[in-house]
Amino acid sequence: MRDAPHPITMWGLTMGFALIATCWLMVKPRLHEEQPALSVVLHLVLVLPFVSLARLFLVNDTSVLHVAAFGGEDLPLKYRFAATWAAREGPLLMWVGWMSLVAWLWRRPLPGESGANGEAHTMRLRLTHLMTLTLLLVAFSLDPFKQTPAFFIGAGLNPLLQTDLMVIHPPLIFLTYSLCLHLTAIAMAAAFTNKTEQLGPRMLHLARPGLLVATLGIGLGGLWAYLILDWGGYWAWDPVETGSFLPWLALVMIVHLRTRPGKVRPEVWIGGGLITGMLALFATTVTRAGGVWASSVHTFVTSDSSTPPSDVFGRLMVLRDDPAGTEVMSYVVWMFMLIGCWLAVQRSVSTNRELRTQDAWLAGIPAVIALLGGLVFTGSNGVGLSWSSVPQVLFIVPLFLPLLLVGPSRETTPQADSKGWTYHGLLPVPLDLLFTLTVYGLSGDVWIAVAAAVLFVPLYRSNDALKAWPWAAAGVMLGLSLAWSQALTLGVSGMILLAFVMPWLLAPQEEETTAFSPLGKKGQLRLALWGSVIVVSLYLVLTWVLLLTSIDAVNFEAHELYGAPFLAAAGAGLFAYTRRKDDAKTTVRLLFGALTLSALGLFLAPDAFGRDSTASVSEHLTRGHIVWMSLPMLVLAVAPVAREVVEQAKSAKEKKAWKRLPLGAHFVHLGLLMLLLGHLSTTVLVDRGDASHRISLVKDEIIVHEGLGLEFIDLELRNQSLEVGDGFIGVRIAVYEMDGSEVGGLIGEVIPGTLRFDDQGVPRSEVATLTRLTGDVVFIFDGSQAGALMSSAGANGLAGIELVRVTVYDLPHSHLVWVGWMTMMAGMAFVSFVGARGPSKSSKEAPISSSEEE
């Protein structure tokens, strides 16, 4: 350990060098074409601050406050390295490094960026480096290399973070967010340069690897909870989990736009890129705006200052006076700027006025906020003005600025030159603006009003609102979600629904011009292909609303209950698509049969699954009801999806062409079905708040629990040879098969326990998992009794302990979760590899023609 004062300015210089490198690359974004060696050096310089901070952690240089606060000479090297991203400063520098790597890997022209469209290539790279600059300036405001004050004693690395998965899970999440922001750069470059040729393939080049990395990162987070934390499962709808899930859903939506019926208009691709980056920033805000989502159990960066307001925006504004106010305000402004760009794109399309390249300066607004935070407003040292001196309304201004850059239409209004029904003749004032202000006035929530505008504006500006039905469906989902989550009253939610269904209420009735029947193959295929986008999009809206309303309490039941129909719809869509060559009427009969089975199970046998199926989730519904809503459809889809994988593999073998997107895509679908089936068994059917899972064990007596015999043998104390922690107390438990009341053979032994961390004063559960062919049984030692037991064991010896408490969760079919997850990643890796080599050559998977518009 280095105790002597360190020339800290040397490490601060790496930040300065990174700032120069970023600005250089912004000015010369295609420097790699002229001076490749210099370009490599500049990209590496952007990684230098993170490498420098990591090096300080590895040598435990406590002259740096960040190291003194979270490092430790007793930590293994891997945990010292992981401590680099344990707080605010380190992750930002790591994010800067990832942004540099992503920019370098995709430095060459993407589809549609060559030749005359080279301006889009230049703009994309320039915007990417501008986003990197914003993150770097936020890091400057936090001063990651500031000197340790005299007599400072750090708390050290949080015990929950001293795990192997801490070394890899957070970096993967920030790599995902870097890929999401690069997608945003692609979208903004296309919008402001109007170079939208091959925009879809351009977006897919980043969306596919982004989805792979996101799936790996989220899955490892679930594995962390499953193996290390005392959740007794891998998913709990914690706000931080849910936040990271939102960009994943957006990426899923983007990769399925390729196969939806009809032509995908450029503004839809642009919107997908913008919303993906916005949700990545939103997820980051959930994690790093400590105190806003007070319900989160694993937001390790906390603040006690943001509690009074009942809405997310209000709580974020409370953080203006926080030392990390610059970071939070930068994210808020950034998100509003991206949403404003989406609204500007819609206005540009409807008024036939293109956005101008010079107007892309809007992307620099978050960087200006970050710069002001570092130079003028309160930073981590508390010196300077407070952001609270800035009226909070000014942080919403970036939402409107992009709209001001799109002038009024010089063409005829859509009502005059379109035969379709539009909103424009209803009122003499802009109905989209009036609707947004009305929603804000009735809800008092900025985010709800903004979400309503995001979905209503495309519908309002469409030349034929009836053909813009996906936006109406999303708006209806928004209203329903707000009502279900009790964020708004039924009256206000009904007003929102009414605004989105108005075209179908007021438009004159016309005879159907095109025949459509769900009994025909073409109709079923159309529904299945639309479903891949619509179901995911609507589920994204639902999940976002539930997260927005979970600032004080996690609503696990709402996520599972309202999400169950979407799982059933996903199963039905996969079933219909993979049976596209089979008899269409038989497909309908089977779908109707599964739906009937769901209904019968709901009414006649909601407790048929045993375990916690009788646990209530609402006044009239139980966990068993939730399972019945989706299980039959998911099971129905397994066989045809598996058949599709086999047929695609046979076709690839016969044609000696393995590099086909459909093969990997259907592997992903099969893995998803397995994961969802495992989820129903290991998460929905397990009530982790039920006291029946907490078992008192008497020494040398066998207690029967859920068909297993559990025998407390003895306690185990360890103070030596521990990788981390200062002491361990565990309970040795023998697990037996039971045949009624008869004790069968020994299945195995487990030792759940608790690690003691004296410096932090925080114990950490050490979960024990008994793995069987049918699934896992998870054992968790009740940490509340650990201290007393350690004291008793020290005074009277281990033999004096006769009674212990453990929590036991039997999780049959848990292997489906992990096998499904790995299958999904294998398929995604295959799709990413094939997609990077060029467009798919499969004609069978090409979208069918359609007249629908976005």
* Measured CA angle at 610 (ends 606, 615), to 5 deg: 65
Residue 712 CA, distance from chain mean position: 41
Asked if 524 and 576 count as a contact pair (C-beta separation under 8 A), the reply is yes
CA torsion through residues 195, 199, 201, 203, sign: positive
Q: Sort residue 427 into left (φ over 0), alpha (ψ -120 to 50) or beta.
A: beta
Q: Are strands 753-756 and 727-739 parallel, antiparallel or unpaired?
A: antiparallel
* Measured CA angle at 397 (ends 396, 399), to 5 deg: 75
pLDDT of residue 72 exceeding 50: yes
Give the separation between CA 438 and CA 451, rounded to whole angstroms: 13
pLDDT score for 459: 94
Determine the residue type at 638. Answer: V
In a 13 Å sphere around the CA of 160, the CA atoms on its Cβ side amount to 13
CB-based contacts of 380: which residues, under 8 Å, 6+ apart? 141, 142, 143, 146, 323, 324
pLDDT digits (tens, 9 = 90+) for 518-546: 677 788 888 888 989 999 999 999 999 99
CA torsion through residues 592, 597, 603, 609, sign: negative
pLDDT score for 778: 93
Assign 300 to helix, strand or coil: coil
Among candidates 531, 571, 563, which has minimal Cα distance to 547? 563
pLDDT score for 6: 43
Query: pTM to 2 decimals?
Result: 0.93
pLDDT score for 559: 94
Mean pLDDT, residues 280-289: 93
pLDDT of residue 824 exceeding 90: yes
Mean pLDDT, residues 807-822: 95
pLDDT score for 473: 95
pLDDT digits (tens, 9 = 90+) for 753-781: 888 888 777 788 889 999 999 999 999 98
CB atoms within 10 A of CB 721: 6
Mean pLDDT, residues 322-333: 90
Q: If pLDDT is split at 50, 70 and 90, which confidence band does 794 have? A: low
pLDDT of residue 97 exceeding 50: yes
**Percent of the chain at pLDDT above 70?**
90
pLDDT score for 633: 97
pLDDT of residue 849 exceeding 50: no
DSSP string spanning 512-578? --S---TTSHHHHHHHHHHHHHHHHHHHHHHHHHHHHT-SSS--HHHHHHHHHHHHHHHHHHHHHHH
In this structure, of 15-19, 115-119, 171-175, 651-655, the range with the lowest mean pLDDT score is 651-655
CA torsion through residues 360, 366, 367, 371, sign: positive
Q: Which residues pair with 736 in a beta bridge?
A: 709, 746
pLDDT of residue 631 exceeding 70: yes
Asked if 761 and 739 count as a contact pair (C-beta separation under 8 A), the reply is no
DSSP state at residue 766: E
| Average pLDDT, rounded, for the chain | 87
**Percent of the chain at pLDDT above 90?**
60
Q: Which residues pair with 616 in a beta bridge?
A: 622
122 CB-contact burial (10 Å; exposed 0-12 / middle 13-18 / buried 19+): middle
